Structure 1
Amino acid sequence: MAVNRKHAEADFVVIGGGLMGSCLAWGLARQGLRVCVLDEGDIALRASRANFALVWVQGKGLGFPAYTAWTKAAAAAWPRLAAELNADTGIDVYLDQPGGFTLCLSDRELQANVDALKRLHDQPGAVAHPYEVLDHAQTKARLPAIGPEVTGSIYCPLDGHVNSLRLFRALHAAFTARGIDYRADHAVETIEPHGGAFLLKGSWGEVRAPKVVLAAGLGNARLAPMVGLDAPMKSSRGQIIVTEKAAPFLRYPVVTVRQTDEGGVMIGDSEEANGANLVTDHGISSVMADRAVRMFPQLAELNVVRTWAAFRVMTLDGAPVYEQSPAYPGAFMAMAHSGVTLAPQHAYDLAEAMSAGALPGELAVFSTRRFHVSAGA
């Protein structure tokens, strides 16, 4: 239902209008809170530019069982999020959860993936997720277009994908429906805790609010110390290839290849420790394309229409970070690489916890304290 509300002083200011910030802003507004989003706008180095639009459970949580549970819950909640965004905006985000595949081009590669899943399920406190290990013939029965070099695969029935552009559009359209005060071209330069509130300043002026959420992706590294927090991240860059539209041939998403609802094929299979620039490395993209063609030979007949590189919001262990400042209560920080997969958790559970003013135990495990455990502990 649309909310007609003149923008007043906000209860929460969310810094960042990417997927993370948008989900949190929408989730906070759902609870009747006044929300202001300060965003850099289209010039921002959004992690959203590098997302592959997967809703992916398979293999997540090795060394961090709580991440597996969090991801499984997100996948289960995705139909609710898609339905509620549609109700707010009339936009279908094309959620599809038929299960997903990891394709392997050698027996050794397949065994390595199987071993990793076994370690994930055998770890203390493990949260299991279902999966099947398939040989070439079994894989081809479900994915007829695979090439002869595919030796086998791993299938997880919980996986899926969405149309990420429609998702982003729906979230921003929902800002209007929920009375959210969205301000583009409002990069935050400083945050000053003062008198139990926060003063946010930029070249555009200033905004004051009792609570603030740092959801600025890579920008959190600069902003976090201003509210007594730390935002440790490692350099991670990824590249995406998009082909022209083709007749449907890929019913299931593959972790590195997916056909969108509009027909184009996305290829993404790189994680580069390169934080210097966003120049496309054609050597890497050619390797990505080669692997994709070996998996699906018909891709060799398609033209590439776009390639690009983008930075990821990658924490030191790859798992999300959620934290409230102990020095300045009311200042929260949220960072995650899996912004699409975890969107329901951010819009519902995390937003509700922030609204209540405290992160419960199941979320406190995602704090940065895990990076500062004493060597003698």
Structure 2
Amino acid sequence: MRIVIVGGGVLGTMHAWHAVRRGHAVVQLEREAEARGASVRNFGLVWVSGRAVGAELRTALRARRLWEEIGAAVPGIGFRGNGSLTLVRTQTELAVARAAAAAPDAAERGWRLLEPDEVRAVNPALRGEYLAGLHCAADGAVESRVALPALRAALEHTGRYTWLAGREVRTVSGDSVRDDTGAVHTADQIVLTTGAALGGLVRELAGPLPVRRVWLQMAQTAPLGEALTTSVADADSFRYYPAYDSAALVDRQPQPPVAAEHKMQLLMVQRLDGGLTIGDTHAYAEPFPFDEVEAPYDHVTEVASALLGRPLPRIERRWNGVYAQCLDPSAVVHRAAVAPATWLVTGPGGRGMTCAPAIAEQTAEELQW
């Protein structure tokens, strides 16, 4: 078949990957010169540990295996199965971590509760004060800023993939799309993966969607000067990931005011150049701000420094981003036919980088690619 994919982010690119691998020809259109949305404004985390029991966890585990396979085929994406450590600093946090480590699916997730000396044996850079660390061996990371060009280069090498940047799709007719240069691209099937861009053509085709947009702030530091061998989270992440029973944490341990106001957790992952990506915040009420707020950066800097036991390197870059998230917490993604031979796939939320390979594989199976 000839498949046209609209949207150049990780979800669209993974759909292209599965289509080409199944022998089809793909044209992928992106309105920007390069994808600039949540697919590159993220941690690059392949985050299995906190996923909800059921479809979300199954999707994340399958995606983790796919990321490893794709990383072996395309080393330029920078995949590494580095695991993660969620560090706890109070007895209330420790109780949540202990419950997780004793859960029936703990082995499937790769969870183990480590004493401080064991934490430092796994990740010697964590020289701060904490009571324990919940280790997840299943977690991984990719280099989100370079993964998409690397994947496209591998796809182009097959001779069955065409990347067209700077093309905004204006109309969809069922067997073709027309972009804003006037070019018409014929298709047997069309997949719209437009991320958080849910107006314009998507609104015309799909109408109101069971999806909301989420705004967040993040940053990247100068090189740490040593290896951070795992990704790192603080116990506030228990509040935001559905795998954990965090009711006691919510009831007994209020967040610091700035963390509560901005719905924060600390996530920290080391880039291949040695710098640390840190964050993040969550805002759900639109219109989103056009400016960034400094207090959240101060908070994550303080927490990260405490866990490292040393000052955090200087922040060199700050940014914000928006992603689309399904309103139904049990839905991994919103996938629906919106026109003849045309499907919309959106709304993975903060799971997009983690789950994209498996979400795209599910689309391929559903559409009988």
Tell me if both proteins adopt one fold, taking TM over 0.5 as the criterion.
Answer: yes
Separation (CA, whole Å) in 2 of partners of 1:97 and 1:44: 25
Separation (CA, whole Å) in 1 of partners of 2:209 and 2:323: 14
**Identity across matched positions, percent:** 24
Deviation at residue 40 of structure 1 after TM alignment = 1.1
1:74 to 56, 60, 63: 63
Q: SS at 1:49's partner residue?
A: coil
Are 1:236 and 1:313, in contact at CA under 8 Å, matched by a contact in 2?
yes
Q: Could you tell me which residue of structure 2 aligns to residue 57 of structure 1?
A: 48
Amino acid at match of 1:163: E
Q: Could you tell me which residue of structure 1 aligns to residue 303 of structure 2?
A: 291
Separation (CA, whole Å) in 1 of partners of 2:45 and 2:34: 24
Separation (CA, whole Å) in 1 of partners of 2:24 and 2:207: 24
Q: SS at 2:326's partner residue?
A: coil
Deviation at residue 52 of structure 1 after TM alignment = 0.6
Q: SS at 1:313's partner residue?
A: strand
Amino acid at match of 1:94: G
Deviation at residue 148 of structure 1 after TM alignment = 4.0
Change (3 A) 1:139 1:183: same
Deviation at residue 346 of structure 1 after TM alignment = 4.3
Separation (CA, whole Å) in 2 of partners of 1:107 and 1:237: 32
Q: How does 1:1-377 map to 2 (within 5 A)?
A: 11-42=2-33, 46-62=37-53, 65-86=54-75, 92-115=76-99, 121=104, 128-178=108-158, 179-193=160-174, 197-202=175-180, 204-220=182-198, 222-228=200-206, 231-255=209-233, 256-273=267-284, 275=286, 276-300=288-312, 302-317=313-328, 319-325=331-337, 328-335=339-346, 336-337=348-349, 338-346=351-359, 349-350=361-362, 352-353=364-365, 355-356=367-368
Deviation at residue 286 of structure 1 after TM alignment = 1.3
Q: SS at 1:216's partner residue?
A: coil
Separation (CA, whole Å) in 2 of partners of 1:149 and 1:317: 38
User: Residues 122-174 of structure 1, C-alpha deviation per residue, up to 9 Å, x if partnerless?
Assistant: 8xxx9942311223333233233324432222111111112222312211212
Are 2:9 and 2:37, in contact at CA under 8 Å, matched by a contact in 1?
yes
Amino acid at match of 1:49: V
Deviation at residue 12 of structure 1 after TM alignment = 1.3
Change (3 A) 1:98 1:148: closer
Separation (CA, whole Å) in 2 of partners of 1:183 and 1:19: 15
Separation (CA, whole Å) in 2 of partners of 1:177 and 1:355: 25
User: Residues 203-261 of structure 1, C-alpha deviation per residue, up to 9 Å, x if partnerless?
Assistant: 54443423110101012455445445753222312222211123223111114111222
Are 2:101 and 2:113, in contact at CA under 8 Å, matched by a contact in 1?
no
Are 2:59 and 2:359, in contact at CA under 8 Å, matched by a contact in 1?
no
Are 1:175 and 1:182, in contact at CA under 8 Å, matched by a contact in 2?
no
Change (3 A) 1:118 1:187: farther
Q: SS at 1:236's partner residue?
A: strand
Separation (CA, whole Å) in 2 of partners of 1:334 and 1:117: 34
Determine which structure has the larger strand proportion and give its number.
Answer: 2
Q: Which runs of 5+ in 2 are unaligned?
A: 234-266
Q: SS at 2:77's partner residue?
A: coil
Are 2:220 and 2:276, in contact at CA under 8 Å, matched by a contact in 1?
yes
Deviation at residue 199 of structure 1 after TM alignment = 3.9
User: Residues 71-94 of structure 1, C-alpha deviation per residue, up to 9 Å, x if partnerless?
Assistant: 1111122221112234xxxxx322
User: Residues 313-356 of structure 1, C-alpha deviation per residue, up to 9 Å, x if partnerless?
Assistant: 2222455315241x745222222232332243245x23532551
Separation (CA, whole Å) in 2 of partners of 1:156 and 1:208: 45
Amino acid at match of 1:76: R
Q: SS at 1:245's partner residue?
A: coil
Are 1:253 and 1:259, in contact at CA under 8 Å, matched by a contact in 2?
yes
Q: SS at 1:289's partner residue?
A: helix
Separation (CA, whole Å) in 1 of partners of 2:114 and 2:283: 29
Separation (CA, whole Å) in 2 of partners of 1:77 and 1:144: 29
Separation (CA, whole Å) in 1 of partners of 2:275 and 2:109: 30
Separation (CA, whole Å) in 2 of partners of 1:258 and 1:40: 29
Are 1:81 and 1:344, in contact at CA under 8 Å, matched by a contact in 2?
no
Q: Could you tell me which residue of structure 2 aligns to residue 360 of structure 1?
A: none
TM-score (norm 2): 0.79
